Amino acid sequence: MNQPRKRLFIDKKTGAKERLNIVKFAVENKCDTLVFSLDDKFFKSKSRNSKYMKLMKRHSFTVEAGGRDFSLLLPRRLFLFHRDLFRMDEGKRKADHHFCPTNPKTTAVIAKRSRALFARAMREAALPRVFHLLPDKGHENAWCACPACRAFRPSEQNIIAVNTAADTLAKIDPAAIILYHDYGTEMEAEGVAPRKNMLRFKR
């Protein structure tokens, strides 16, 4: 798959008026793809964004979903009673970044949550066929150090997590793909193979 020429990621907190300016900016800078967070209101209500969507169609933007959305796959509110789902750092569980990808209970939550988010995005926004699942910016290596996860590099833990979501997406739409973080050759994931519907994201 050839990646689009230029993507513009939209922060989910962006207001309605600012979004119109973003479309104008995207046109002026020859962006061809707008990427919305899986939790963006764009995927929650077409009626609220009708003017915005008309502008997007007029300029033939491709719509993609996701970004640095890993936290959405495991709601932080679960930390209070289910700390074992979250990553371990220096012997303590932490809810700040990512989660524990080798815990079967964690992957069960990810599978269920990703199914709901992917399905909603496809239902509300003309079937995006490309999804981004990228680690928290600046914390790409902040994965889990529990006994089970220590056997895996951050890049491998990342792929374990994305694989779970990719399996779910394949059941919803076999043609859709997930773009995942490229750790580079020095951090190559050797022991964990990505699913066939996954591609590295390269800016």
Q: Where are the domains of the chain?
A: 7-201
Q: What is the DSSP letter of 146?
A: S
The CATH code that applies to domain 7-201 is 3.20.20.80
* Tokens matching residue 50: 């009708």
Which band of pLDDT confidence, cut at 50, 70 and 90, is reported for residue 112?
very high
Residue 8 confidence (pLDDT) above 80: yes
Q: Does the pLDDT value for residue 1 go beyond 60?
A: no
Contacts of 63 (CB under 8 A, 6+ apart): 33, 34, 35, 36, 56, 125, 126, 128
Residues 185-203: tens digit of each pLDDT: 655 666 789 999 999 987 6
Q: How many residues does the chain have?
A: 203
pLDDT score for 127: 57
**pLDDT per position as a tens digit, 37-71:** 888 877 666 565 666 667 777 888 888 889 998 88
Q: What is the pLDDT of residue 13?
A: 85
Q: Which long-range contacts (CB under 8 A, 24 or more apart) does 27-31 make?
A: 27/59, 30/5, 30/6, 31/5, 31/6, 31/7, 31/61
AA identity, residue 108: A
Question: Can you give the pLDDT at residue 154?
Answer: 93
Average pLDDT estimate for 12-33: 86
Structural Rg of the chain based on CA atoms: 17
Report the range out of 16-25, 173-182, 184-193 with the highest average pLDDT: 173-182
Q: Which two tokens stand for residue 59?
A: 């300029």
- Find all residues with CB under 8 Å of 59, minimum gap 6, and list them: 23, 26, 27
5 burial type by CB count under 10 A (0-12 exposed, 13-18 middle, 19+ buried): exposed
